[in-house]
Amino acid sequence: MAVDFAQFVSETNRAPTVEDAFGILETYLTVLGFDRVVYSLITDHPSLDRRRGHGILRNYPDDWMAYYHAKDYIDVDPVIKVIRHTSGAFLWHDLDFLKGGLTRNELTLMHEAREARLLDGIGLSLHGGPGEIVGMGVASSSGGADFDVDTLSLVYALCSQFHIVYRRMETVCAPVIVQLSAREREVLTWTAEGKSRTAIGEILHISDQTVKTYMNRIFAKLEVNSIQLAVVKAIALGLISPAVTHVRPARASLRLSPK
C-alpha cells in the first residue's frame, strides 16, 4: 500500500498533541510493515528542558521496556552506540558488520530483542539543537518487512517529520523564524527532486562549489546535518513546495563517521 508523505506532513503538523502526532506516525509505519516504534532522547536536551531517556514515546512491549530499563541496557545497546556516532537510517542486522563485531553483552541484548518480537529493526539518528541527539527504533512484531531503499528512505522521512513536530511542540525556547533566500529555496527544491550537486549547478548556471556553499547555509539555517532532514524540515515549514516528496534515499548500509 502506498504512503502519501505530503498527507502525513499535513496530518502531523495539525495534530493537537505530541501523542496524537505519534499515533499518526504509528499508523503510517504500520502500512509499511513496521508496527513497533520508539522515540528516545539519547542525550540531555536543554532546548526541551529534558534529561536523556529511552522510550519517552513508544509502542514497544511494556514487558520488554521494563526489562530493558532494569538491565540498564541503554549503556549496552549497540543501536544507541551507532546513533551517537552517525546520522540517518541503518538496519539492525548491519550491526553484525561493525568493526570488531559486537560484544557478548551486545549480542545478548539483540538476541533478547528478537525474542521480544522486535524484528527487522531500523535505527534512526536525528539531531536537534547543538549536541542534542534523538534516536528512534522501528521494528516489526511479525517479521518479513521490506528493506528496499525506497522503504528505508520513507521510514526516515516519516520519522524526521515526527521529530520536527515533536520539537516544535515541546521546545521551551522561543521559536526561531527560518528564512531561505530565493536561490537557497531553488537549490533545496532541486535537491528534493533528487538532482546531484553538479546537476543543480548546471540547471542554475552556477559552480558546483557555489551549490555546496548554498547547501551549507541551508544546513546552518535549518539546524540539520543531512539532506534528507533539510528537505523534510523545509517542507514542514512551508519553505519549499509540499508537493515535492522525492526525498533522496537514506543510506541502506551502515557507515560510521565521527560526530
Domain ranges in the chain are: 5-170, 182-236
Per-residue pLDDT, averaged over 42-47, amounts to 89
Measured CA to CA, the distance from residue 140 to residue 143 in angstroms comes to 5
Measured CA to CA, the distance from residue 60 to residue 126 in angstroms comes to 19
pTM for this predicted structure: 0.72
Per-residue pLDDT, averaged over 4-25, amounts to 95
Confidence tier at 176 by pLDDT (50, 70, 90): low
Confidence tier at 258 by pLDDT (50, 70, 90): very low
Looking at the domain that runs over 182-236, which CATH code has it been given? Answer: 1.10.10.10
Per-residue model confidence as pLDDT tens digits over 91-116: 998 887 666 688 999 999 999 999 99
Q: How many CA atoms lie within 13 A of 128 on its CB side?
A: 26
Q: How many CA atoms lie within 13 A of 30 on its CB side?
A: 8
- Considering only the top CATH level, what class is 5-170? alpha beta
Per-residue model confidence as pLDDT tens digits over 127-153: 877 789 999 999 999 998 888 888 999
Give strand pairing partners of 2: none
